[in-house]
């Protein structure tokens, strides 16, 4: 494996809290050959999980957050919000000024991360689970202390997971948490409900799954490639006095748009609650 031409050449990356998202990010970075596995450090409280990561991905895994963080140029914090204060407590004073800290923790704003870690250069990212297959989208921001070289490195890491979008204003990361961060959960719920509806009509589970998955995938690709407004695409399906119009009537009557908007707003408001947990304990 070669790291040549990589903006991350020779750089070492640590993941503190190696669950679902950390594993997705590690896989993406390895897949794109951005960093050698021996230059990736991961920590997890359970020895068995650390051993599993080491065996599966070839990274250096241990149960010590401090050891992992000290070994790297870039430290990615991937614990749940409720664990963050304990991790800050462990890492404050350990992370040095030459290092870069990236947090993917929902609700954790960069000023409180900088303050609690006593570290100025902080990047805040909201990725999503399709990152596991390189089709994620990550929304990010950073403190002014993050230099241009580090910004390029962050872009390279996030591009290994799919698309990335930078915003100067941090509020967009919280807003994105409710759209792209939690979004896959909404889509999977719709997918599950449609599969169940198809089974209700009489399709086998296997056929129902294929019909629904291909319909969702085809519709998304069609919208992306045609560049047409969703309403125009919907009208193409909806014949006068036809089946789609009948179904759409029921969806609108059930308040689909309102319920989606309420759900997104609730997720957005929850980021503030998570922020309180992180700041006040």
Ligand X SMILES: NC(=O)C1=CN([C@@H]2O[C@H](COP(=O)(O)OP(=O)(O)OC[C@H]3O[C@@H](n4cnc5c(N)ncnc54)[C@H](O)[C@@H]3O)[C@@H](O)[C@H]2O)C=CC1
Ligand Y SMILES: O=C(O)[C@@H]1CCC=N1
Residues at the interface with ligand X (CB under 6 A): 16-22, 43-45, 65, 78-81, 83, 86-87, 104-106, 126-129, 181
What element of type H or E holds 100? strand 100-103
Q: Give 3-state DSSP helix, strand, coil % of the chain, rounded to 5.
A: 60, 15, 30
Does 104 engage in binding with ligand Y (CB under 6 A)? no
Give min distance, CB of 106 to ligand Y, in A. Answer: 4
What is the separation of C-alpha 243 from the centre of its chain, rounded to a whole number of angstroms?
Answer: 37
Q: Which does 78 bind (CB under 5 to 8 A by kind): ligand Y, ligand X, none?
A: ligand X
177 vs 198 by CB, closer to ligand X: 177
Residue 72 CA to residue 16 CA, distance in Å, equals: 11
Residue choice 106, 146, 158, 175 for contact with ligand Y (CB under 6 A): 106
DSSP label at 140?
E
Give min distance, CB of 153 to ligand Y, in A. Answer: 23
Give min distance, CB of 18 to ligand Y, in A. Answer: 16
Of 53, 27, 3, 272, residue with least CA distance to 136: 27
β pairing state of 136-142 and 122-126 = antiparallel
Q: Which does 60 bind (CB under 5 to 8 A by kind): ligand X, ligand Y, none?
A: none
Residue 154 CA to residue 156 CA, distance in Å, equals: 5
Q: Which does 228 bind (CB under 5 to 8 A by kind): ligand Y, ligand X, none?
A: none
Give min distance, CB of 181 to ligand Y, in A. Answer: 3
Per CB under 6 A, contacts with ligand Y among 150-209 are 177, 181-182
Total residues at the site for ligand Y (CB under 6 A)? 4
82 vs 147 by CB, closer to ligand Y: 82
* Through-space distance between the first and last CA atoms of the chain, rounded to whole angstroms: 44
Per CB under 6 A, contacts with ligand Y among 42-101 are none
Q: Which does 127 bind (CB under 5 to 8 A by kind): ligand X, ligand Y, none?
A: ligand X
Q: Which does 279 bind (CB under 5 to 8 A by kind): ligand X, ligand Y, none?
A: none
Q: Which does 87 bind (CB under 5 to 8 A by kind): ligand Y, ligand X, none?
A: ligand X
What is the separation of C-alpha 91 from the centre of its chain, rounded to a whole number of angstroms?
Answer: 23
Count of beta carbons in the 10 Å neighbourhood of residue 67: 14
183 vs 208 by CB, closer to ligand X: 183
Give min distance, CB of 203 to ligand X, in A. Answer: 29
Q: Which does 70 bind (CB under 5 to 8 A by kind): ligand Y, ligand X, none?
A: none
3-state SS record for 128-147:
CHHHHHCCEEEEEEECCCCC
CA-to-CA dists, residue 98 to 72, 150, 267, angstroms:
10, 10, 35
Residue 107 CA to residue 238 CA, distance in Å, equals: 40
Handedness of CA 191, 194, 199, 203 (dihedral sign): negative
Give min distance, CB of 180 to ligand X, in A. Answer: 9
Q: Which residues of this chain interact with ligand Y, rule CB under 6 A? A: 106, 177, 181-182
């Amino acid at each position: 494996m070669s790291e040549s031409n990589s903006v991350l050449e020779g750089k070492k990356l640590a993941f503190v809290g190696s669950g679902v998202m950390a594993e997705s990010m590690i896989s993406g970075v390895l897949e794109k050959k951005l960093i050698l596995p021996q230059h990736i450090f991961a920590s997890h409280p359970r020895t068995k999980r650390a051993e599993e990561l080491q065996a599966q991905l070839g990274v250096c895994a241990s149960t010590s957050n401090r050891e992992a963080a000290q070994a790297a140029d870039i430290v990615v914090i991937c614990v749940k919000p409720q664990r963050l204060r304990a991790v800050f407590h462990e890492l404050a004073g350990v992370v040095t000024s030459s290092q870069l800290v990236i947090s993917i923790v929902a609700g954790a704003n960069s000023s409180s991360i900088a303050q609690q870690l006593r570290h100025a250069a902080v990047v805040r990212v909201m990725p999503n689970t399709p990152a596991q297959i390189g089709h994620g989208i990550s929304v990010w921001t950073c403190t002014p202390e993050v230099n241009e070289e580090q910004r390029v490195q962050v872009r390279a890491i996030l591009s290994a997971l799919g698309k990335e979008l930078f915003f100067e204003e941090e509020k967009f990361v919280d807003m994105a948490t409710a759209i792209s961060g939690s979004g896959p959960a909404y889509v999977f719920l719709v997918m599950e409900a449609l599969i169940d509806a198809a089974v209700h009509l009489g399709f086998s589970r296997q056929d129902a799954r294929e019909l629904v998955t291909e319909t969702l995938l085809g519709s998304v690709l069609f919208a992306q490639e045609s560049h047409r407004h969703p309403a125009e695409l919907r009208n193409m399906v909806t014949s006068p006095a036809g089946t789609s119009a009948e179904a759409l009537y029921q969806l609108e009557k059930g308040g689909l748009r309102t319920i989606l908007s309420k759900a997104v707003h609730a997720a957005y408001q929850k980021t503030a609650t998570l922020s309180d947990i992180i700041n006040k304990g």
